[in-house]
């Protein structure tokens, strides 16, 4: 897929969804009729907003070997479209989801492997799983975003030990350090073993990449 094709898909979706009627869901709440559409994220126009072929960031990423589509996918992933890449399954998803994820896969293939030897942290959102038992294997079908910094946020947190050899962790911050987050991203499909769980209401979940 090209950047132009993706922008055309987004523009078409926005044009055809300017007026969306409301329907009642299973609990009788009024919600937009396209609430459950996989590609509803196109409605916000974020892909076009992230496209800046003449910007300094684009020029710097070109020097690191990324093409224009890969650059756009990286900007979307670290910016306002990160949710568009996170799925429990990638089978039978509507275009352009598969093409966007293929582009991000290509970015991660070109990104330096995380080799600093320290644990990584993920400060959990409401969507992150926390109902583990020690010894569980956690298969993550989507990309796992972490940071090498302990921000000490008062949330559930994963403390992740990457593999010393053959890790799927990529130092994305070396490509583009959005907001100085020092983001390290695991490729989709990575497996982890739960080593320990501490805390009560706020859990600290220790896991290792396998």
pLDDT at 28: 79
Q: How far is CA 91 from the centre of its chain?
A: 17
Same domain, 74 and 159: no
Largest CA distance in the chain: 53
The CATH number for 150's domain is 3.90.176.10
Same domain, 75 and 105: yes
Note the pLDDT tens digit of each residue in 149-177. 998 888 999 999 999 999 999 999 999 99
Same domain, 99 and 153: no
Does 26 map to a domain?
yes
Does 62 map to a domain?
yes
pLDDT at 82: 92
Does 114 map to a domain?
no
Bridge partner list, 203:
199
Same domain, 173 and 126: yes
Alpha helices in 88-174, H assignment, sequence order: 97-109
Total Cβ atoms within 10 A of residue 91? 7
Same domain, 70 and 131: no
pLDDT greater than 90 at residue 205: yes
**Which of 70-74, 86-90, 143-147, 168-172 is least confident?**
86-90
Same domain, 12 and 104: yes
Rounded Cα–Cα distance for residues 208 and 75 (Å): 28
pLDDT greater than 90 at residue 26: no
Residue length of the chain? 210
Note the pLDDT tens digit of each residue in 32-74. 777 778 999 999 999 999 998 888 888 899 999 999 999 999 9
Pick the more confident residue, 113 or 21.
Answer: 113
pLDDT greater than 80 at residue 21: no
Range of the domain at 180: 120-209
pLDDT greater than 90 at residue 194: yes
pLDDT at 18: 84
pLDDT greater than 90 at residue 128: yes
Rounded Cα–Cα distance for residues 125 and 106 (Å): 26
């Amino acid at each position: 897929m090209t950047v132009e094709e993706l922008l055309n898909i987004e523009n078409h979706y926005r044009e055809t969804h300017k007026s969306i009627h409301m329907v009642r869901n299973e609990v009788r709440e009024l919600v937009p009729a396209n609430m459950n559409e996989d590609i509803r994220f196109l409605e916000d126009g974020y892909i076009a907003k992230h496209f800046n072929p003449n910007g300094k960031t684009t020029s710097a990423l070109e020097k690191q070997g990324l093409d224009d589509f890969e650059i756009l996918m990286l900007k979307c992933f670290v910016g306002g479209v990160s949710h568009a890449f996170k799925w429990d399954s990638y089978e039978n998803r509507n275009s352009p989801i598969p093409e966007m994820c293929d582009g991000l896969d290509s970015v991660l293939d070109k990104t330096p492997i995380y080799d600093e030897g320290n644990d990584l942290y993920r400060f959990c959102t409401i969507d992150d799983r926390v109902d583990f038992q020690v010894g569980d294997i956690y298969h993550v079908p989507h990309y796992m975003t972490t940071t090498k910094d302990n921000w000490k946020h008062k949330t559930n947190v994963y403390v992740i030990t990457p593999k010393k050899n053959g890790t799927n962790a990529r130092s994305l911050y070396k490509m583009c350090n959005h907001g100085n987050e020092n983001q390290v991203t695991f490729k989709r499909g990575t497996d982890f073993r739960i080593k320990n769980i501490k805390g009560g209401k706020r859990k600290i979940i220790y896991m290792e990449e396998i």
